[in-house]
Amino acid sequence: MNLATIASLSVGQHLYWRTESLAVHGETLLTSWFILLAIGIVSILGNSNLQSIPEGLQNVTEFALEFIRDVAKTQIGEEEHKEWIPFIGTIFLFIFVSNWSGALLPWRVIELPNGELGAPTNDINTTAALALLTSIAYFYAGISKKGIGYFKRYVEPAPFLLPINVLEDFTKPLSLCFRLFGNILADELVVGVLLLLVPLLVPIPLMLLGLFTSAIQALVFATLAGAYIGESLEDHH
Amino acid sequence: MNPLIAAASVVAAGLAVGLGSIGPGIGQGTAAGYAVEGIARQPEAEGKIRGALLLSFAFMESLTIYGLVVALALIFANPFAS
């Protein structure tokens, strides 16, 4: 194994698992399961023996929870943010841990017959699923609070804005999906190309930049999900 | 792949990224300028300003990323390639 294989790029190559009618991207599923397992283990270990003075892993999980609670509170508002913390937290933690695992763990050391392991979020199907979940969540939030009156917002502030308001429901998930996918893939591509040119030391600043942007992207996705939910919950009077 | 389609895709991919980065570039410059102005006027608000600035940078950057996604689709997953 030389450095060139670790740095090699394969966009659009996937490890296909075929069933009768479906072909799924195996490498994305494997890494997402690994990440779910990692998050699950950390939260079970951190919260199985709760102390009133937290130490060790409990500190980490409490810090994460407080951070997510702040995001939800600023976006959704004091009264209704509590029931949306689990959703926003799930999305934030999954995206954050996947982005950082793609940047920090040497996935490419493990060789696959086709495609390569990497962050689950560099597959557009993952980000599309997360974006659609966000769509469903804000529709659910609006309809469960206001009932059929939720659809009144399509003709506000003026009826002729109806097409734009309907279009917005499609552009929201699309932009969420493309933003995350493009950022993560762009980071990996930049680092990969630079590794092919100069294998040592030079890519390190860009890797650090990648870590930073991927953390920001997780925050942006969670913030936007919160903002959309908050927007459909708010009252127009 | 048809050479004409290949050539057109490569040119289009370059244009998608290049043209797509003009607007966000201007926008980020403006935002950073005003942020510096704000910090100079009120240095104790630096933390808040930096947070808002980074978040809005991410939004602006995503516009360039849309161009990048189009470019990547043209190069790696061209729908007209067959």
Cβ contacts of A183 on chain B, cutoff 8 Å: 61-62, 65
Hey, where are the domains in chain B? 3-76
Contact across the interface for A182 and B76, Cβ inside 8 Å: no
Contact across the interface for B62 and A175, Cβ inside 8 Å: yes
Q: What's residue A93's pLDDT?
A: 94
Q: What's residue A99's pLDDT?
A: 92
pLDDT interval class at A10 (50, 70, 90): low
What number of CA atoms fall less than 13 Å from residue A43's CA on the CB side? 11
Nearest to B65 among A11, A12, A186 (CB): A186
Tell whether the model's pLDDT for residue A7 goes beyond 60: no
Mean of pLDDT values over A115-144: 90
* CA distance linking residue A27 with residue A16, whole number of Å: 8
pTM exceeds cut of 0.90:
no
Q: What sign has the CA pseudo-torsion B61, B64, B70, B73?
A: negative
Tell me, what amino acid is at A142? G
Cβ contacts of B68 on chain A, cutoff 8 Å: 182, 186
Q: B70 vs chain A: nearest CA distance in angstroms?
A: 9
Q: What's residue A37's pLDDT?
A: 95
* CA distance linking residue A83 with residue A66, whole number of Å: 15
Q: What's residue B16's pLDDT?
A: 93
Tell whether the model's pLDDT for residue A126 goes beyond 60: yes
Tell whether the model's pLDDT for residue A45 goes beyond 80: yes
Contact across the interface for B65 and A182, Cβ inside 8 Å: yes
Q: B48 vs chain A: nearest CA distance in angstroms?
A: 14
Tell me, what amino acid is at A124? I
Mean of pLDDT values over A171-185: 90
Mean of pLDDT values over A98-104: 89
> Which residues 49-88 of chain A have a CB within 8 Å of chain B?
none
Mean of pLDDT values over A188-205: 84
CATH of B3-76, one of 3.40.640.10, 1.20.20.10, 3.30.1330.20, 1.10.730.10: 1.20.20.10
Instruction: Identify from B21, B28, B50, B61 which residue to disrupt to test chain A contact, counting A C-beta atoms within 10 A and taking the largest count.
Output: B61
A185 inside 8 A of chain B by CB: yes
Mean of pLDDT values over A67-94: 91
Hey, where are the domains in chain A? 3-233
- Chains A–B, number of C-beta pairs less than 8 Å apart: 40
Mean of pLDDT values over A45-60: 85
ipTM summary value: 0.73
In 3D space, the residue among A93, A88, A85 whose CA is nearest the CA of residue A36 turns out to be A93
Tell whether the model's pLDDT for residue A115 goes beyond 50: yes
Contact across the interface for A219 and B59, Cβ inside 8 Å: no
pLDDT interval class at A1 (50, 70, 90): very low
Q: How far is CA A123 from CA A10, A26, A91, A187, A202, in A?
A: 12, 11, 16, 13, 27
Q: What's residue A5's pLDDT?
A: 52
Q: Give the three-state DSSP class for A111.
A: coil
Q: A205 vs chain B: nearest CA distance in angstroms?
A: 18
Percent of chain A with pLDDT over 70: 94
CA dihedral A45→A49→A54→A59, nearest 10 degrees, is 20
Bond prior to B43 in cis (omega within 30° of 0): no
Listing DSSP states for A25-66 in one string gives EHHHHHHHHHHHHHHHHHHHHHHSS--SS--THHHHHHHHHH
* CA distance linking residue B56 with residue A92, whole number of Å: 18
pLDDT interval class at A12 (50, 70, 90): low
Nearest to B66 among A11, A178, A217 (CB): A178
Q: What's residue A137's pLDDT?
A: 93
The more confident residue out of A81 and A107 is A81
Q: Which residues contact A208 (CB under 8 A, 6 or more apart)?
A: none
Q: What's residue B47's pLDDT?
A: 85
Q: What's residue B15's pLDDT?
A: 94
* CA distance linking residue A180 with residue A126, whole number of Å: 10
* CA distance linking residue A189 with residue A11, whole number of Å: 9
Q: B69 vs chain A: nearest CA distance in angstroms?
A: 6
Mean of pLDDT values over A39-58: 87
Q: What is the pLDDT of residues B18-75, one digit of tens each?
A: 999 999 999 999 999 999 999 999 999 988 898 888 888 888 888 888 888 888 888 8
In 3D space, the residue among A232, A209, A138, A150 whose CA is nearest the CA of residue A176 turns out to be A138
* CA distance linking residue A186 with residue A65, whole number of Å: 29
